[in-house]
Amino acid sequence: MNNPYFQFSGGVIGALLFLAGLFFILVFLPVSIVAEAFSRLGLTTFQGVLMFMAIVVGRTVNIPVHTSQRLVMVRRPISVRCVMDTRGQGACVEDEPANELKKQVFAVNLGGCVLPLLLSLTFLLGMADAVGAVGFGWIGFALVAVAAGCYAVSRPDVLTGMRVPLFMPALMTFVSVYFFVPEPIRPLAAYVAGTMGTILGGNVALLLTPRLRNRIATPLVSIGGAGTFGGVLVAGVLAVLLA
């Protein structure tokens, strides 16, 4: 007679394989791709992984730089409270949220703006002698092209303030770099144009356009933050690998 408590169905092995697959797809593969991209720009594998972790963690940090006099509506969530009625029975009542007005705050995101900017400057200064004046001209051309494209496709967003389509910056960076920039400086041009072009065109230029800026109604407007961070990261990494 078989004891049902000792029958093996393979469920534990399957669960472990599933978790291992998730770890590979969500952790190991992205880290490996980013490390490979940064290695083409002169960083070691350890430095690349460390910088990737700093960027991912830094996406949660917004540094305020300006508080506007413009007031925006902040919606509070609906609260539910449970009370006892006259018969001693419990009942749940929804309280209507009391919306409030707050001054709009502008900030820069640590992982989506500050660190990519510092990396771009570091790479440019470190490779200045090899790039030369002509190379800087091509990098500037690619940056302007990506910025113009991101400005064309970026939109004010109700939840995030500003939104840039995830893969559009990477696609525009690849086209502008692969077909126009000389091969020796393509990785550098791809990173600088992909990150800074996305930020300048998708966020900064949008904020400098009154018609679009006035359509942003979120209390916190973060340059390189939610809605743009993914585009900056994908453009900076994929464009370098494809260049």
pTM, entire model: 0.80
Among left, alpha and beta (phi > 0; psi -120 to 50; other), residue 220 is beta
Q: What angle do CA 31, 128, 237 make, to 5 degrees?
A: 20
Q: Residues with Cβ < 8 Å from 80, sequence gap 6 or more? A: 92, 93, 94, 95
Residue 227 has pLDDT above 90, yes or no: no
Q: Residues with Cβ < 8 Å from 46, sequence gap 6 or more? A: none
CB-side neighbour CA atoms (13 Å) of 87: 3
Q: What angle do CA 204, 142, 52 make, to 5 degrees?
A: 70
The pLDDT value given to residue 85: 59
Backbone angles phi, psi at 174, to 5 degrees: -60, -45
pLDDT tens for 168-213 read 999 999 999 999 999 999 999 999 999 999 999 999 999 999 999 9
Looking at per-residue pLDDT, the higher value among 183 and 89 belongs to 183
pLDDT tens for 123-175 read 999 999 889 999 999 999 999 999 999 999 999 887 788 999 989 999 999 99
How many of the other CB atoms lie within 10 Å of CB of 103?
11
Residue 5 has pLDDT above 60, yes or no: no
CB 233 within 8 A of CB 199: no
Q: Which two three-digit tokens encode residue 66? A: 């300006």
Strand partners, 100: 74
pLDDT band at 98 (very low <50, low <70, confident <90, very high): low
Residue 10 has pLDDT above 60, yes or no: no
Rg of the chain over all Cα atoms, to the nearest angstrom: 24
Q: What is the mean pLDDT of residues 95-108?
A: 80
pLDDT tens for 37-85 read 888 888 888 898 899 889 999 999 999 999 998 888 777 666 666 666 5
The pLDDT value given to residue 148: 97
CB 67 within 8 A of CB 107: no
Mean pLDDT of the chain: 84
The pLDDT value given to residue 63: 96
Could you say which DSSP state residue 185 is in? G
Backbone angles phi, psi at 232, to 5 degrees: -65, -45
CB 209 within 8 A of CB 144: no
